[in-house]
């Protein structure tokens, strides 16, 4: 009963703080459009894509130098060999010049518009506040200047011809660069260059679409209310305190949390379940008496201590291990970051093992003894009895143990905050095994990290409460799922 009241209160207060998020975020999104940031944003994406290509060229350069140094050349020789490559790279970089300066100008203009709108909103708020306090004269003294978005935006939209011209130049320049044959001094990187060329071609193909979007863009097109929700649930960016635009999309955090939790479970489930099977079926009573308290003691270690351990010991050792020569066939090795999803996941596994262990053990012990006897009486060995009767019969109990372990790790804060690397980005899942060695940020981590710093009542503050609310419901859902599984299991045993 008390539990229900507490749950209700938690939900209520989280909602009270979080619910304001939606109108505020909607306003934020509307301003993004009205002030023309969205318009310029399309162009910014285009220059950003170029910058990414440029970076991959730089990366290619670094790799070649490394390869040549390794092959015994001196620094000067290596630089000289790259002369042709460098001209190429400079040309590639210069191609975007016109567009870049245009975008930079427009960026200044639209952010200025946005700033004005913000000042206006603040003034309005202040006046309202003063009126409420009953200070009418002071309130009247607050100056407000309404922003005429249409007039302000007109010069920005007027640059469209300049934009098309700049893009045409860019296209021409890039085509010239593309046609130029380039042989790399380090031959084994030639395929990477091919890859780069293809990427540039794909980039060129996106131009007409962007242009079309810009042409059809309308500042007064309405932003529907549900965008406020979808931009939160499906937003791929979490950017705060940006001079440009703040985004509160939960996906990178959710992806980070899930990645860390899955790593933790992949480690903890086999260990926890095997330990449970061992203790309940195979171990001598004396061994069981020894193992159980130790495993359960792990859950008493403060998570901050585990976090220290992760930073000081585990992260560094894992990195050193990946530098080990025998492992170099794994393409992701050696890893760059000491603190990453794997480090955090490995520590979280440690925290999940006791949960999974004790619940699985309970599930195994709750199997009626006569199942075991029936199996032995038919001539089964211990292993056969475990694998064919005990584990299947307790499977739903084990599944629910795993789910509760999952709930435990996804809600854990300190370890991920300290050890997950805290980079807010959706992990690059194309990297195969390397994915797990990327730094990530998590839902719990971000709340702990940012909530102390934000001003009460701002959009950012509300967004953090929304993350909290999301976590809360996720935890409730996982628990509900675990209980459902257990209930079903009870029925099937009969």
CB nearer to another protein: pick between 224 and 392? 392
φ, ψ of residue 431 in degrees (nearest 5): -85, 5
**Which residue in the set 320, 328, 366, 492 belongs to the binding site for another protein (CB under 8 A)?**
492
Q: How far apart are the first and last CA of the chain?
A: 29
Residues 6+ apart with CB under 8 A from 439: 337, 339, 340, 341, 420, 421, 422, 423
Q: Residues touching another protein: how many (CB under 8 A)?
A: 22
**Which residue in the set 83, 221, 330, 493 belongs to the binding site for another protein (CB under 8 A)?**
493
CB nearer to another protein: pick between 68 and 386? 386
CB of 359 to another protein, least distance (A): 19
Query: Does 374 help bind another protein (rule: CB under 8 A)?
Result: yes
Binding characters for another protein, 376-415, by CB under 8 A (x = yes) = xxxxxx--x---xx--xx----------------------
Binding characters for another protein, 133-172, by CB under 8 A (x = yes) = ----------------------------------------
**Which residue in the set 8, 23, 97, 368 belongs to the binding site for another protein (CB under 8 A)?**
368
**Calpha distance 239→37 (Å, rounded):** 15
Q: What is the DSSP string of 181-240?
A: ----SSGGGHHHHHHHHHHHHHHHHTHHHHHHHHHH--TTS---TTHHHHHHHS---EE-
Q: What is the CA radius of gyration of the chain?
A: 29
CB of 236 to another protein, least distance (A): 45
CB nearer to another protein: pick between 240 and 384? 384
- Which of 275, 345, 278 lies closest to 310, judged by CA? 345
CB nearer to another protein: pick between 83 and 378? 378
Query: Coil, helix or strand for 421?
Result: strand
CB of 364 to another protein, least distance (A): 14
**Calpha distance 96→51 (Å, rounded):** 9
CB nearer to another protein: pick between 125 and 373? 373
CB nearer to another protein: pick between 114 and 372? 372
**Which residue in the set 132, 187, 325, 370 belongs to the binding site for another protein (CB under 8 A)?**
370
CB nearer to another protein: pick between 319 and 372? 372
Binding segment for another protein (CB under 8 A), chosen from 29-37, 112-120, 129-137, 365-373, is 365-373
φ, ψ of residue 230 in degrees (nearest 5): -65, -35
Q: Binding to another protein (CB under 8 A): which residues in 284-313?
A: 285
Residues at the interface with another protein (CB under 8 A)? 285, 368, 370-381, 384, 388-389, 392-393, 492-494
């Amino acid at each position: 009963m008390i539990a229900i009241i507490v749950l209700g209160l938690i939900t209520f207060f989280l909602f009270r703080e979080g619910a304001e998020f939606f109108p505020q975020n909607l306003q934020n999104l509307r301003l993004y459009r009205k002030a023309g940031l969205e318009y310029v944003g399309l162009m910014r994406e285009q220059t950003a894509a170029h910058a990414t290509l440029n970076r991959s060229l730089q990366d290619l350069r670094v790799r070649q130098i490394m390869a040549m140094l390794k092959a015994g050349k001196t620094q000067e020789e290596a630089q000289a060999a790259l002369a042709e490559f460098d001209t190429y790279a400079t040309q590639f970089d210069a191609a975007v010049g016109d567009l870049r300066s245009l975008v930079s100008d427009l960026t200044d203009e639209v952010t200025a518009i946005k700033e004005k709108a913000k000042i206006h909103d603040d003034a309005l708020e202040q006046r309202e506040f003063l009126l409420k306090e009953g200070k009418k004269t002071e309130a009247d003294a607050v100056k407000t200047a309404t922003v005429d978005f249409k007039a302000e935006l007109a010069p920005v939209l007027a640059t469209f011809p300049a934009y098309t011209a700049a893009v045409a130049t860019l296209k021409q320049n890039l085509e010239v660069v593309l046609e130029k044959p380039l042989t790399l001094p380090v031959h084994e990187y030639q395929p990477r260059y091919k890859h780069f060329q293809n990427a540039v071609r794909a980039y060129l193909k996106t131009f007409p679409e962007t242009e079309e979007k810009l042409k059809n863009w309308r500042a007064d097109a309405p932003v529907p209310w549900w965008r406020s929700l979808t931009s939160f649930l499906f937003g791929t960016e979490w950017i705060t305190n940006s001079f440009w635009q703040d985004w509160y999309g939960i996906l990178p955090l959710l992806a980070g949390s899930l990645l860390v939790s899955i790593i933790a479970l992949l480690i903890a489930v086999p260990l926890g379940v095997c330990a449970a099977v061992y203790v309940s079926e195979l171990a001598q009573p004396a061994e069981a008496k020894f193992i159980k308290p130790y495993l359960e003691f792990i859950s008493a270690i403060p998570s901050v201590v585990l976090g220290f351990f992760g930073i000081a010991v585990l992260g560094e050792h894992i990195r050193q291990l990946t530098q080990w020569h025998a492992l170099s066939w794994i393409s992701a090795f050696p890893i760059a970051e000491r603190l990453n999803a794997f480090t955090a996941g490995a520590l979280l596994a440690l925290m999940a093992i006791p949960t999974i262990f004790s619940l699985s053990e309970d599930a195994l012990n709750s199997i009626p003894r006569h199942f075991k006897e029936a199996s032995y009486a038919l001539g089964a060995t211990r292993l056969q009895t475990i694998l064919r009767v005990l584990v299947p019969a307790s499977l739903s109990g084990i599944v629910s143990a795993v789910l509760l372990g999952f709930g435990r790790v996804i809600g854990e804060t300190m370890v991920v905050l300290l050890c997950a690397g805290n980079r807010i980005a959706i992990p690059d899942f194309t990297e195969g095994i390397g994915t797990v060695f990327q730094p990530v940020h998590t839902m719990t981590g971000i709340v702990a990290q940012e909530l102390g710093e934000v001003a009460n009542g701002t959009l950012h503050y509300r967004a953090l409460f929304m993350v909290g609310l999301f976590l809360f419901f996720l935890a409730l859902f996982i628990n509900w799922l675990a209980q459902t599984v257990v209930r079903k299991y009870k029925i099937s045993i009969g």
